[in-house]
Amino acid sequence: MHTVLLACEVLRPELEMLAAKMADPPEMHFLEQRLHDYPEQLRLRVQAAIDALEQAHTGDLAILCGYGLCGRGLCGVSTGRAVLILPRLHDCIPLLLGESQAATNASSREGATFWISPGWLKYLLIPFYAESHRRFELYAQKAGPIKAARMVRAENALLSAYKTFCHIRWPEMGEDWVEEAQRIAGLANLPYAERPGRSRYMAEFLAGGKDPEKFLHLAPGESADMDADGLVIAVACPRRSVVPLPEKSRRAAP
């Protein structure tokens, strides 16, 4: 069984760190974070990536899908012949914290927390604040400088609904991201906090996600969804088929 990882780049720092310690790490592929802003686009891109992986690998295949349901963006995603393995989570925060969805829900109810990690900093927040000047110039061309300034201020205040900027820190990741996390918290005008994360959940995922309480193993024709109690479950969806590879490509595929 060949194993491939397909994940959001937000998880890339932690996944690559864990994979480097494995004797036989999975082949790894990442999609851009910004897809989370558009659940339908996320669904289409993940599905297209799965289809491409099934085309590229002709033998038995397991795809580790490094996503939660992500605003239901993963609902409806399925395979044509591979086993699809994903965490039974609403989003990636419990995976980074190393705890169950219920535990994260309970801690989030204590206040409006904006959770961040090295991947959230690298692929979303640092570029977002670094591009303020470029966004101002773009808006000024269309609406003039006064309106452009208001638009940038409104965008930069998107985190104002939160009460805390909480950095999920894995001991294995060291001190590298602390200064940047504190700087971005200052730009967001939010109090900085830290919470220790644990790598075990993500390490179990990379190792094949064998615990059925934590992971779904979806057969072809199945997808993930959420039941009335908020549990991530397997549901039937129309069985899909993968178009066979041309003979030349089939021989060349790894």
Instruction: List phi, psi (to 5°) of 237.
Output: -140, 165
Could you tell me how many residues make up the chain?
254
Each residue of 73-89: pLDDT tens digit? 899 999 999 999 999 99
Round to whole Å and give the CA distance between 123 and 177. 13
CB distance 226 to 69 below 8 Å: yes
What's residue 27's pLDDT? 95
Reported as a pLDDT band with limits 50, 70 and 90, residue 247 is very low
Each residue of 151-178: pLDDT tens digit? 888 877 778 788 899 999 998 887 889 9
Each residue of 114-155: pLDDT tens digit? 999 999 999 988 888 888 778 888 888 888 988 888 888 887
pTM for the full predicted model: 0.85
Whose structure tokens read 């669904």?
Answer: 43
**Which has the closest alpha carbon to 103: 205, 198, 206, 207?**
198
Round to whole Å and give the CA distance between 193 and 184. 12
CB distance 178 to 167 below 8 Å: yes
